[in-house]
Structure 1
Amino acid sequence: MYRNSEGYSDPTAAMAVGNLMREYKQKQRTKWRRQYEIKNRKKIYVASKYAGNVDANVAAAIGYCKYVISQNCIPIASHLLYPQTLDDNDPDERELGLMFGLSLLAICDEIWCFGDISESEGVQQEIVEARKLGKTVRYVKEGS
């Protein structure tokens, strides 16, 4: 029983505090449920061309990631991450970046291929690896 500052029973204040606590706990449960759902969305490996017109390809890849997010999934785009720290023109560092990307592919649920990937050696290698791992390979047309 809740007691006031003079030691008397105060059921009205107890009920008010109890209601506030119930509301708070419900809001926390809702927040935690939403965060759990977000963290457990499908992880999608985004495969698209990087080499060539790098600026245009990076801009396109960012758009592809936004599309994946709009589909309630988590985008993983290694070709937006590793070229920032590794030199794509150095064969050893390029191979390192590709292997890092394939490592990320292994933890993804699916691979989605965007744009014209026919000339991209890296994307072709990612598709082969995805098939070895039994991942779903989805080809997404522009404007989907």
Structure 2
Amino acid sequence: MKKVYICSPLGGDVSDNLERAKQYARYVFSCGAAPVVPHFYALVLEDGNPEERQLGMQAGRSLLWLCDEMWIFGDHVSAGMREEIRFCQNLGLKIRTITEKQLLSGKAP
């Protein structure tokens, strides 16, 4: 099964963004792939603590080595997402963008 790294915002409204990450994971499953969701580190690390946020970001990037693709969700790219995207590009992984409109339509990319 293809492994897809979910790239979407976390900071700011962490609770709302975690809920969105769950929706994105469900979408990836519906496309026949296995979602890799680094956002779930926020359940054990404090995103508001700079050291713990950095630890979570590093752990998330380490997961990219195991993935086949990165899917960017939503219509906003945060600074943290830009870091993940650059890392992914350096690894040569395929990147797809899934807009809110595509997500709502339920159609696979």
TM-score using structure 1 length: 0.68
Distance in 2 separating the partners of 1:90 and 1:124: 20
**Bigger Rg over Cα:** 1
Q: Report the structure, 1 or 2, having the larger helix content.
A: 1
- Where 2:65 maps in the other structure, the secondary structure is helix
Deviates more, 1:134-143 or 1:65-74: 134-143
- 1: distance between equivalents of 2:66 and 2:76? 22
Aligned-partner Cα distance in 2 for 1:130–1:117: 18
Counterpart CA distance in 2 for 1:45 and 1:73 is 10
Please give the alpha-carbon distance, in whole angstroms, between the structure 2 residues aligned to 1:58 and 1:131: 25
Query: Which residue does the alignment assign to 2:65?
Result: 106
In the TM superposition, structure 1's runs of 4+ consecutive aligned residues that sit over 6 Å from their partners are none
Q: Quote the RMSD (CA, aligned, Å).
A: 1.1
Gaps of 5+ in 2: 103-109
Is the strand fraction higher in 1 or 2? 2
Paired with 1:63 and 1:50, the residues of 2 have a C-alpha distance of 13
Report deviation, 1:87: 1.3
In the alignment, structure 1 residue 96 sits paired with structure 2 residue 55: yes
2:42 aligned residue = 83
Question: Which of 65, 69, 79 does residue 29 from structure 2 map onto?
Answer: 69
What is the Cα deviation at residue 114 of structure 1? 0.3
Percent identity of paired positions between Structure 1 and Structure 2 = 40
Partner of 1:30: none
The answer to whether the 8 A contact 2:7-2:72 is kept is yes
**What is the TM-score normalised by the length of structure 2?**
0.88
Residue pair 1:113, 1:138 contacting (<8 A) in 2 also:
yes
- Post-superposition CA distance 1:12-40 (Å, at most 9, x none): xxxxxxxxxxxxxxxxxxxxxxxxxxxxx
The residue number in structure 2 matching 1:115 is: 74
Unpaired segments of 5 or more residues in structure 1? 1-40
SS in 1 for 2:35: strand
How far the C-alpha of 1:143 sits from its partner, in A, is 3.4
